[in-house]
Homo-oligomer: A and B are copies of this chain.
Amino acid sequence: MVKQRPTIADVASRAGVSKGSVSFALNGRPGLAQATVDKILAAADELGWRPSNRARSLSVSKAFALGLVITRDPAVLSSDPFFPAFIAGVESVLSTRGQALVLQVVTAGESEADGYRRLAQDARVDGVFLSDLRHDDPRIQLLVDLGLPAVTLNRPDGESPFPAVTLDDRPGTSAVVQHLLELGHTRIAHVAGPPAFVHATARSSAFVATLAAAGLKPAAVEAGDFTAAGGIEATRRLLALPKRPTAIVYANDRMAIAGLGAAQAAGLTVPDDLSIAGFDDSELAEYVHPGLTTVRADPFRFGEVAAQTLNQLVDGATEVPDVELPPAQLVVRRSTGTAPLEET
């Protein structure tokens, strides 16, 4: 009753050739008469033959899958606008090659390294994406030791044998600061991401540098953690400063939206009393009130390019070049406005 799926042997016998020839024909390898190739392909088609990943995997020692490890920590995982779109981009490449994406979510009490180790020990994937890069990221050496090909999302600061797909966060951050400067702000504060992250410090240093270029100093730089809760905390501290900033630049939208709420809860009007800007252009940015001025990248494209780059490595390319993606673009909405008049 259960229809067994046809194997290469079935195709062979139907086409009246050997298994070896079928394999050659199916993989489009030279050295077979065109007539027999046609015959084999026809037979395979009539039988509805599909290659067995399992058998191929065992035979050629490949998994035909790529891996992504993310932590279960809500700070990284929950409602982050990056991963869903990134994953969709990755899949758009994988689905055309018959590859699968294996997601490894690191649960409480484990380190992210455990996730990569599991993936490597189980030989579940042929390569992995290295996201949320840290300074002196220990995972790079780990992956080298595990012999697992990888592509890093953004460029690590230490030595790395892996190709990097990068999206420079600095122009976007600069554009936001520039925009605020043009609105007349001079007391601008920043709520940064955790300094362990490469992209967090890239944004905060660009923030500082852009102000410096205009001859200004930051009103303050608060450490956030990319979560809404952290955004609230940081915002409260900023609003309690003796000389309250007139504008706050957040390292992501979640903190910015939370900050917006905190400012409003404190009785401030945005942008009249305080301008607020985010980073990511997440879905809600456009729809909160007032709409959030932010910076928009293309995480789907990021996923596509990262998958293509990783696949070059997996396919055996020895020199895979880094790829630089176009920087994020400023999106001006209503949460930023002209600086309030100084009450002296």
Contact = CB atoms under 8 A, between A and B. Distances in A.
A103 B94 CA distance: 11
Interface of A: 2, 50, 52-55, 57-58, 61, 63, 65, 72, 74, 77-81, 83-85, 87-88, 90-92, 95, 98, 100-105, 107-108, 110, 118, 121-124, 147, 227-229, 231-232, 254, 257-258, 260-265, 282-284, 286-291
B65 A88 contact: no
A148 B75 CA distance: 35
Given A54-B57, A81-B79, A289-B264, A283 B102 contact: no
12 contacts: A52-B58, A54-B58, A57-B57, A74-B85, A77-B85, A77-B88, A79-B81, A79-B282, A80-B84, A101-B105, A254-B283, A262-B287
A154 B130 CA distance: 35
Total copies of the chain: 2
A89 to B, nearest CB: 9
B122 A105 contact: no
Contacts of A90: 105
Given A254-B283, A288-B257, A289-B260, A100 B78 contact: no
A287 B85 CA distance: 24
A98 B107 CA distance: 14
Contacts of A265: 289-290
A264 B147 CA distance: 55
B88 A107 contact: yes
